[in-house]
Structures are given as C-alpha cells and as structure tokens.
Structure 1
C-alpha cells in the first residue's frame, strides 16, 4: 500500500532510539499516524514540528498497518508560531480538536481551515474569530452543527442575537425576549460574515457559545475535560482584542 498527500504535523512520540511516530492531519486521508525513521535526527527534527506543512509518502504492507512516512517540508510555520502565546496555544488547541475526529476519516475542509488559521495566528485580532469558526466546523463534522442562519421560532434572517442551548439554533431578539435569561448570546459576526469581531466582549461570547456545545456534545459524553490549550488560547486571544470602553463612576451623571 502506498499513497502521497500533504499534511500538517499535529504531534510526535518517540519510537525506538532514533525514530518517531508522527501524527499528521492530512488533506485526503484525515488524521493519520506513521513512523518516521530517523525522525529524531538533526535534519528531520526541525521539519517534524507541530504546525509545519509537509509532503508525505506513506507505505505499509496492509492498509490497517501503522506504516512509514517519508516527509519533505512544504511550509515551516513552527518557528513563527512559537513566538507568541496565541501561536503556541492555537496550534495545540486545534490539534486537540482534530484528535476528536476518528482516525483516517477524511476531512479536507478542516485541513484547509487549519492551514489558513495557522497562517493568520500572527494577526491576533483575526485569530480568535477564525478559531471560533474552526470549532463550529469541527462540531459540524462531528454531527453537531449549529444553525445560526435563521430564527428557530420565526424563520427571520435578521436581528439574530440568541442561540437556543437545547436546539443549537439561532433566535431573534423579539422571539427570544421571554427566555433571554436562558439563551446563549450570539455575536453578530457569526451569522453575518460581512461583520467583523471588533471587541473582546464579542469574542468572549463566541468562545462561550462554542465551548458550551463542545462540552455538551463532545467532552461530557466522552468523559474528558476540555483541553487546557483551549483555555490558554482563548485568554491570549481576548487579551489581544480591543476592550469595550467602560465609563468611570466618577464621570457618570448624578442620578436625579
């Protein structure tokens, strides 16, 4: 058996004295493992770093075998990612999400999105919003996609400010008003791609939204805790966003 593909390094573990088992998110073959002979050498160590894109040739006698990789570097991102907290925690958080997928299931859209976000992590004010969309895409590929395009109650496409925690569907301001205290906030940039995420408050709402559904549908049923890397990335991304202006009490008009 043999195939050739491109992929992004997710992680490594030692194998024998000189080799490693590389975990790679490939474009056509999903999350796939393989042995890299001599992977701990000075030549290959810089190549086999999380976040780097590589060209792969995988060979095995049978398809179900672990197999071996031959790798060539395509895009060296790891050095740049290690320069910031957003980069370090971002690649780890997305790798943790991709490990939720069944091994060897093809998810080309997630591979491409992963690459795009990795190339944008040095733009902090874009990174958080892109990461949230990545979490939404992972939920969708796991079978738990949210419907944020129309109001679940009225079918309206405008004034969508809530998400039902039960159905995962958007709800308009008018329809959701009686149950506002039970709803999740829907930041405007998620249903409307023409809008940008412009503040830390908006991004925090988005993180809380995807975090709720990841917990409910993925982490809790599997009996696992959310990855620490997600919390660390969210904190770093929020610090990089503009903060909402807050009025000092001394500047407020007196109550008459």
Structure 2
C-alpha cells in the first residue's frame, strides 16, 4: 500500500522558479520550497490589477507562502497541485540585474530540469538562497555558481567521488592531472579535455562531504578556470536532449554585443 506524503506545514519558505498563465486572472507557479522541494501551485487571481500577489510572485524573492490542501493526489499518495492562499516577501534579496539576472535564470532552469517534484532538498534550498545575493553583489560570483552546480549534481546523485579513480577506486595522486567522464568518473586523461589536479579534486570532494558552502566556494575558486567547462560537460550530458534556453540566450546576447 502506498505511503502518504507527510502533511505540509501551514507556511513555508519558497522561491518562484517560473510561472505561466493559467487563465485571464490566474497563474501556475513552479515553486522551490525548503520543506517540500519543487511544487506546482495555482495562484488564483494573481493577475488581477489590485491583487496583493502581483508584486511578490517574482523570481529570486524569498517568500513565506501559505498553501491550501491539495485537491488531487497521485498514485503514490503525494499532492500534485496546490493552491496559493498567501505569499509574503520576507525581505533581503531583491531582483538582480545585468549578468546576475542571466545567471539567476540559468540556475532556475537547472533546478526545473534536474529536480523532481515534491522531493525535499533543504541543503540545496539553502545553497540557492545563499547564491542569489552573491550573484547580485558580484562577490566571487563564478565560484558561487560552480559550487552550486557541484551541489546540484551531488544532490541528484550524478556526481562521482572526486577523490578516487573510477577504474580501481584507488585514491588519486594530488600531483597528477585528471579528467571526469560522465559515464564513469575520475580518470587519467586520454584525450584533450578539461583537466584538474588531483589536489583540486580532493579539496572539492572534502568540501562537499563537509557541507560547508564557503569551503566549497573556496575550493572552486582554487580549482581555476578548468572547472567551468568540466562541470558544463557533466550538466549537458545529464540534460540529454533538453538544452538550456538561458545559456543560449546569454550566448546570443554576447554575440550581439561583440
């Protein structure tokens, strides 16, 4: 017999990842909540001119939301769609601009494509909440992005142990260069591809295991520019035939500017 999902809290912290029209006056929201993970929520009347929800149901704002009881349950006993009863901006991070806006939408798209619905991931939620103000301030934004990509891959079970060789499970040599293949893991380089030192990989794995976001950002910064294409290759492999739209938009904008 299927086990019913735990009863959701009366209010919970959440971010809007995406929304689209449901009717002339309402929206369907894709929320990322700390307690329940990614949720599909109907915001009835949110498009009306005098709705109090219009000014807060925006990406990148940390909200405290109140949801109704689900009107429908799937075969596993989990709620499929809920209605939004209330939402309040709790302050802090405001809407980013410029390059930070593109980066924010890129991260949102990663969450939409990689996370299943109603799978609570509080550590990833906290990593996302920490990332947004860093993108806005520009303070170590690239290191913060790489750290989030690593945390996302690890959370989804798509990141191998970075401290051992895939073929033998023997510890890697800190002084040697290695590559990461999506199919297996850390290997000795066999062709021209992004490579990292064993020391960098060991530091990344240690930071992931420790769970410290500042330590992970520092390890990403120390790894150098080779980490970005390496992680992008892993992400694109696991995305399969689902290309990232925000990434392509950014490339198109860069072409226009140059």
* 1:168 Cα deviation from its structure 2 partner: 2.0
TM-score of the superposition, structure 1-length normalised? Answer: 0.73
Task: For structure 1, list consecutive stretches of 5 or more residues without a partner in the other structure.
Answer: 237-256
TM-score of the superposition, structure 2-length normalised? Answer: 0.73
* Alignment partner, residue 112 of structure 1: 126
* RMSD over aligned Cα atoms: 2.9
Q: Does 2:67 align with 1:58?
A: yes
* Alignment partner, residue 241 of structure 1: none
* Alignment partner, residue 68 of structure 1: 83
* Alignment partner, residue 167 of structure 1: 184
Matches within 5 A, 1:197-236: 197=221, 202-203=224-225, 205-216=226-237, 218-220=238-240, 223-229=241-247, 232=250
Where 1:120 maps in the other structure, the secondary structure is: helix
Larger Rg: 1
Tell me if structure 1 keeps the 8 A contact 2:43–2:83: yes
**Aligned pair in 2 of structure 1 residues 164, 182: CA closer, same or farther (>3 Å)?**
farther
Matches within 5 A, 1:76-225: 77-79=93-95, 81-82=96-97, 84-85=98-99, 87-100=100-113, 101-152=115-166, 154-156=170-172, 158-159=174-175, 161-165=177-181, 166-169=183-186, 176=188, 179=189, 181-186=191-196, 191-192=202-203, 193=215, 195=219, 197=221, 202-203=224-225, 205-216=226-237, 218-220=238-240, 223-225=241-243
Task: For structure 2, list consecutive stretches of 5 or more residues without a partner in the other structure.
Answer: 1-6, 74-78, 204-214
Tell me if structure 2 keeps the 8 A contact 1:147–1:168: yes
In the alignment of these two chains, the number of paired residues is 219
* Alignment partner, residue 22 of structure 1: 29
Where 2:229 maps in the other structure, the secondary structure is: helix
Tell me if structure 1 keeps the 8 A contact 2:180–2:230: no
